[in-house]
Amino acid sequence: MSLVSLLPRWTPDRWNQPLDRAMLDALEPQAAIAGLLGPGPQWTFTTGHMRTLGDMLHAWVGWGRLPVLASPDEARATTGQGDFIPQLVRYLKRIDHLGLIDADFAEHIAAHHWLAADLYSVMDVLELTAFLGATTGPKVRILEIGGGWGRVPEMLMRLFPGKVEYVMVDAVPISLVSAEAYLRAMLPEATFGSLARGDSYQPGSYDVYFVPSWELEQLGTARFDVVINIESFQEMTQERVDYYLGWFDLMIADGGIAYIANSRDYVFTGDWNFPTSWRTLSRHRTPRSWTPDNSTHILRKEVGHFTAANRIIDAAFETTIPTDPHHPAVSTLRQIIEARKA
């Protein structure tokens, strides 16, 4: 069976999932007093006017809201690059170790309302699974902080049915509520648990489990094969990033993978204090890299100290950071900095 037949077939009403306002009203006061584990200033906005998760697309994925069928002019207006989608597909083709990106794939994404962000999800799945070694349990256990509407679990669970167990942590009530509404609608065969609904967490008991960031201890002694943060630590403070990296280190199994894709020159420009026992496997820019210093950084928790080896890979990565003022990532960051000053 071709893997393409497993891919999502979205319809235009994909973003119309209604939000559970009662759940939002319960979570928002908790988030407001959660301190370090609550949302930072970028993510504390009023949501009373929001009725569907479509209202959040821009905040979650920025350039990724571009439909794959957008014209070059529309692509240029959103991303600064008229050929943004073809570039993204070419990159997927280069890294495609699953045999997914072919003429059927191109036809599928055009016919089923895909966005650039959905191509990001395919990219994340390809990159992550390329580096994932043997895992011990019947399912790969994944922990993601700041997963937006849940695009990565959706894509993984479609492509690897019955093989993935996923815990989503978020500090932002509208993200937690949206992800739950969305994934329940898109993965009707999956089982769901939610701490906010009173379900307690046991490894293996749900395909997808949602937990607010201020309740992390409820995950107990579970250990994960993969920990993920995509475009989320980049908007936090040094204290929060240090806290989450330290917590990831507790939760990741020996030999597990950390998949950390963030800008380092946007809001958070501090130090990335990865545990010294995490060895860098790869650090590179991708077509998603919307600021110059934006990389997908893939590390594995091993036994030993890898600071020196990691530093060499970081130095090599730094030589690839674009500096040409006409480069779309360089001009995007310049505009952001200018807008902040104004």
Ligand X SMILES: C[S@@+](CC[C@H](N)C(=O)[O-])C[C@H]1O[C@@H](n2cnc3c(N)ncnc32)[C@H](O)[C@@H]1O
Under 8 Å CB-to-CB from 275, ≥6 apart: which residues?
A: 245, 246, 249, 301
* The binder of ligand X chosen from 231, 290, 313, 333 (CB under 6 A): 231
Minimum CB separation of residue 56 from ligand X in Å reads 8
Binding of ligand X at residue 75 (CB under 6 A)? no
Greatest pairwise CA separation for the chain in angstroms: 55
Minimum CB separation of residue 61 from ligand X in Å reads 5
Residue span 174-203 as binding mask against ligand X, x where in contact by CB under 6 A, dash where not: -x----------------------------
Which residues 14-73 are close enough to bind ligand X by CB under 6 A?
39-40, 43, 60-61
* The binder of ligand X chosen from 81, 194, 213, 291 (CB under 6 A): 213
Q: Which residue has 């991708």 as its token pair?
A: 286
Q: Which stretch binds ligand X (CB under 6 A): 5-13, 155-163, 225-233, 318-326?
A: 225-233
Complex with ligand X: residue 178 or 280, whichever CB lies closer? 178
Nearest Cα neighbor of 259 from 205, 204, 297 is 297
The gap from C-alpha 317 to its chain's centroid, in whole angstroms, comes to: 21
Complex with ligand X: residue 7 or 53, whichever CB lies closer? 53
Minimum CB separation of residue 40 from ligand X in Å reads 5
Residue span 151-170 as binding mask against ligand X, x where in contact by CB under 6 A, dash where not: x------------------x
Number of residues that bind ligand X (CB under 6 A): 20
Minimum CB separation of residue 230 from ligand X in Å reads 4
Contact between residue 118 and residue 154 where contact means Cβ atoms under 8 Å apart: no
Contact between residue 239 and residue 219 where contact means Cβ atoms under 8 Å apart: no
Under 8 Å CB-to-CB from 95, ≥6 apart: which residues?
A: 123, 126, 127, 130
* The binder of ligand X chosen from 230, 241, 251, 333 (CB under 6 A): 230
Minimum CB separation of residue 324 from ligand X in Å reads 26
Minimum CB separation of residue 134 from ligand X in Å reads 26
How far from 19 is each of 87, 169, 180, 190, CA to CA, in Å?
34, 18, 9, 19
Minimum CB separation of residue 173 from ligand X in Å reads 9
DSSP 10: -
Residue 194 tokens, joined: 């939610």
Complex with ligand X: residue 224 or 306, whichever CB lies closer? 224
Contact between residue 168 and residue 150 where contact means Cβ atoms under 8 Å apart: yes
Edge to edge, the sheet with strand 208-212 lists: 192-194, 208-212, 164-170, 140-145, 224-230, 252-263, 294-301, 278-284
Minimum CB separation of residue 244 from ligand X in Å reads 7
3-state DSSP helix/strand/coil percent for the chain, to nearest 5? 45, 15, 35
Residues of this chain that bind ligand X (CB under 6 A): 39-40, 43, 60-61, 145-148, 151, 170-172, 175, 213, 230-232, 236, 240
